[in-house]
Amino acid sequence: MLNNIILIVLFICFVSGLAYVYMRLKEETKKAPKKGEDLQISPEEVIKQVEALFLNGDFSTGQKLAKKYLAQNPYHHELRKLLVKSYIENQKEYDAISNLLVLVQFYPDDLSLYAQLATLYKNTHQQKKAIHFYSYLLTKDKYDLNAMRNLAELYYNNKQKESALKLYKQLVAFIDDEEEKVEYYEIMGNIYTTYGDYNKAINFFKKVLQHKSNNIDVIKELRKIYLKQKDTENVIYLSRKLIDLEPGNYVYYEELINLLFHVHSYEEALSYAQKALELENTDVFAIKNLIAKIYIYTGKIQESINLINETIVQDPTNLILSQTLAMAHCMNKDFEMAKKVCNDAIEVAVPSDIKVIHNNLSTILAEEAVYLLNQGKTKAAFDKFTEAMQYNNENPEIYFKLATANRTIKNYSEAVRQCKRAIELAPEVSLYYETLADIYYELQNFIEAKKYYKEAVFIDPKNTRAHTFLGILQSKDKEHESAIKSLETAVSLDSNNVDIRYNLALAYEVAGKKDEAKAEYTKVLELNPNHKEAANNLKLL
């Protein structure tokens, strides 16, 4: 009986315990919030509140509210998109990126999310990731111009020029905006320049200038290419244009004056030099030195000497002026004064300048040697050449003048040797090749002569005389088309030269081009009505 009572009591206690546990669990369940319920706001309401905060410019509070809600309910994607938008507007790119990476997991087909990611990676200089996402966008839509533009730019800035070029070619084919095309033409020109494909670069730069004729950057790049191609005419044209665009830029003046001097356009060079002296930032000594050199080469030697003497007073140790003065005296055949100027300069020169002065002394002595040779003083002349060697035995002008001297006395083997040495020391001087060709021509070694005339015109395409003699030899060897081409080039460089035109007429005639020959003989007679050979040949035709 007692045992039954105990069992009943235990059962009642057990049931009471279960009831208590059940009631507690039920109470706790009622208290446990649903996702987002601790904020006591619905998904729709949170969107409205966050939008209102953003509209009022309270981005900080709005972002905190959105983040807190998303921590409880990470699947509220519209709220996350709104948060991303605010991060982008507030330039919180990294926060925007982290939230976009969540969104693309749920919306893998929403390309706008990938576009935003690509842009953000680009803006934060994470270029490899930007390239990855823009490339992905193009795989989905090969006509996505925005992705194409950005990817081309990224490739270009990351030195992936070939990939960039491919995309820029596609862009100019797809877009209609001429202004945008011009922008890409310039980039494509720059890429081709880095490849060394100068002809294509020139074509694209010219397209830019057709639309924007005053684009200084393109003019400068185009000018650099023409310099490399030794297209002096176009370099000068663009140099003039740069001065027109920036008339106060002294650097352009100095470059143009030197170019004009190089092509013997002394009057124009002098005109620009005078204008350069009026600029505020002009290197007066450099410009006056150039003017003095122009005077020397135009036969105004005394004017050159006077100008330098007036200028050098302001800077007696100016090496450039003193050496131009020495060369002026040399051209005036006052060799003693020329040497004195050099020796005086040595007294005050820094060690690095002495080599320059010695080189000029060697040139002056070589010039004096030629002068003595022309007076029939052969031994004294060669003594001067020996003295010149002591100052600089690697001065190409010495060897060139020695070659000329030996050619004068018909010591051809030595003339050839000395001329080749001059070429070895200064392979960029067309005159040396032309002179060596002349020596071979006199020796009737026409094969070697033709070879060196070709070298001369390759180095200086405006070497009229070399073109002429090359054409004569080519005609002699029955290379008719080459001969005509060479002589036509010579005529284009010196259209009023009767001898060149006569040789071109002969080349036409032996090539069987009678009409062209008649026309050219007629032009010869227009220039020189007394040209008997041209008149006779014209009658025979």
Q: For every residue of 118-160, which 3-state class applies, written as one string?
A: HHHHHHCCCHHHHHHHHHHHHHHCCCCHHHHHHHHHHHHHCCC
Size of the chain in residues: 541
Helix axes 178-195, 198-211, angle to 10 degrees: 160
CA distances for 383 relative to 7, 77, 377, angstroms: 145, 98, 10
Residue 225 has pLDDT above 50, yes or no: yes
Which residues, including other chains, have CB under 8 Å from residue 31's CB and lie 6 or more apart?
none
% of the chain at pLDDT higher than 90: 85
Residue 8 has pLDDT above 70, yes or no: no
Each residue's pLDDT tens digit, 374-427: 898 989 999 999 999 999 999 999 999 999 999 999 999 999 999 999 999 999
Residue 434 has pLDDT above 50, yes or no: yes
180: buried, middle or exposed (CB in 10 Å: 19+, 13-18, 0-12)? middle
Confidence of residue 41 (pLDDT cuts 50, 70, 90): confident
Please state whether the predicted TM-score (pTM) of the whole model is above 0.85.
Answer: no
Neighbours of 15 (CB within 10 A): 10
% of the chain at pLDDT higher than 70: 93
In our burial notation (b when 16+ CB lie closer than 10 A, e otherwise), range 331-369 reads: beebbebbbebbeebeeebeeebeebbbbbbbbbbbbbb
Residue 12 has pLDDT above 90, yes or no: no
Q: Note every long-range contact of 287-292, with CB atoms under 8 Å and residues 24 or more positions apart, other chains counting.
A: 287/253, 287/254, 287/257, 288/321, 289/320, 289/321, 289/324, 290/254, 290/257, 290/258, 290/261, 292/321, 292/324, 292/325, 292/328
End-to-end CA distance of the chain: 159
Q: pLDDT value at position 5? A: 60
196: buried, middle or exposed (CB in 10 Å: 19+, 13-18, 0-12)? exposed
Q: pLDDT value at position 263? A: 85
Domain segments of the chain: what residues? 36-102
Each residue's pLDDT tens digit, 122-142: 999 999 999 999 999 999 999
DSSP E strand stretches across 333-417: none
Confidence of residue 19 (pLDDT cuts 50, 70, 90): low
Q: pLDDT value at position 296? A: 94
Assign 458 to helix, strand or coil: helix
Residue 197 has pLDDT above 90, yes or no: yes
- 3-state SS string for 8-64: HHHHHHHHHHHHHHHHHHHHHHHHCCCCCHHHCCCHHHHHHHHHHHHHCCCHHHHHH
Residue 358 has pLDDT above 80, yes or no: yes
Look at 15 and 274; give whichever has higher pLDDT: 274
Residue 2 has pLDDT above 50, yes or no: no
Q: pLDDT value at position 46? A: 92
Q: pLDDT value at position 11? A: 54
Domain range 36-102, CATH class: mainly alpha
Each residue's pLDDT tens digit, 286-309: 999 999 999 999 999 999 999 999
Which residues, including other chains, have CB under 8 Å from residue 242's CB and lie 6 or more apart?
216, 219, 220, 223, 249, 252
Mean pLDDT value of segment 25-33: 45
Q: Residue 210 carries which side chain, given as an amino acid letter? A: Q
Q: pLDDT value at position 40? A: 72
